[in-house]
Amino acid sequence: MTEQDNTQAGIIWLASYPKSGNTWARSFLFNLISILTGEDPSTRDINAVNERSIWDISARRYEEILGKPPKEAGREAVAAARPKVQEAIADELPGISLVKTHNALVMDRGYPAINTKVTSGAVYIIRNPLDVAISFSHHLGTTVDKAIARMGKKGLETPMTDESVHEIYGSWSENVLSWTRKPNPAIFVMRYEDMKSAPEKTFGALAQHLLMSPTRDQLARAIELSSFERLQQKEEETGFKMKPKEADKFFRKGQVDEWKEVLTTRQVQRIISDHGQQMVRFGYLPGNAQGAANKRPKPAARATPMMTRRTS
Break the chain into its structural domains and give their ranges: 3-294
131 has a pLDDT exceeding 50: yes
128 has a pLDDT exceeding 80: yes
pLDDT confidence tier of residue 306, bands split at 50, 70 and 90: very low
Q: In what order do the strands lie in the sheet with 10-16?
A: 54-55, 96-101, 10-16, 119-126, 187-191
pLDDT confidence tier of residue 97, bands split at 50, 70 and 90: confident
213 has a pLDDT exceeding 90: yes
> For residue 88, what are the CA distances in angstroms to 6, 93, 119, 124, 266?
19, 10, 12, 22, 46
Judged by average pLDDT, the poorest of 3-17, 133-147, 265-279 is 3-17
124 has a pLDDT exceeding 60: yes
What would the DSSP string read from start to end of 102-168? Answer: ---SBEETTEESS-GGGEEEEEEEE--HHHHHHHHHHHHTS-HHHHHHHHT-TT-BPPP-SSB---B
pLDDT, averaged across the chain: 84
> What pLDDT was estimated at residue 256?
87
> What pLDDT was estimated at residue 83?
97
Question: For the residues 292-297, what does the mean pLDDT come to?
Answer: 44
Residue 124 forms beta bridges with which residues?
Answer: 15, 189
Judged by average pLDDT, the poorest of 109-113, 118-122, 163-167, 248-252 is 248-252
16-62 pLDDT tens trace: 999 999 988 988 998 898 899 888 766 665 555 555 568 899 999 99
Sign of CA dihedral 36, 39, 44, 48: negative
Instruction: Give which of 130, 143, 136 is closest to 257, Cα–Cα.
Output: 130
- The rounded Cα 226 to chain-centroid distance in angstroms is 16
- Is 2.40.10.10 the CATH classification of the domain at 3-294? no
